[in-house]
Amino acid sequence: MRRITVTRRVRDLVVLAVSSTVALVVLVASPAGAQQLVDAGKENGGGALAFVLFAALVGLTFGVLFAMDRVRRRRQEEQEQQR
């Protein structure tokens, strides 16, 4: 019973973090109005900023996929133990 509570808290925390991130991106992107949020040109370091943002997005994607796979495996183990 205690693990379910911890799992729910972690899930709620992840949902809060993801929704906050989405809200922040929408808030920052709304004034842009253009299709391109970051100019990847060579002027004023735009290319470096675009690379850093892309790398962060890829890292975040892999982190979320890893966490979801970990949760799935734990649930499978719990279900197998209950059988």
Q: What is the pLDDT of residues 13-51, one digit of tens each?
A: 888 888 888 888 777 766 555 566 666 776 776 677 788
**In which element (H, E) is residue 66 found?**
helix 46-82
Cα–Cα distance list, 74 to 7, 13, 31, 55 (Å): 10, 18, 42, 29
pTM of the model: 0.49
Contact 14, 67 (CB under 8 A): yes
The single-letter code of the amino acid at 7 is: T
**Phi, psi for 33 (deg, rounded to 5):** 70, -15
pLDDT at 49: 79
pLDDT at 24: 83
Contact 46, 38 (CB under 8 A): yes
pLDDT at 63: 92
Q: What is the pLDDT of residues 55-79, one digit of tens each?
A: 999 999 999 999 999 999 999 998 8
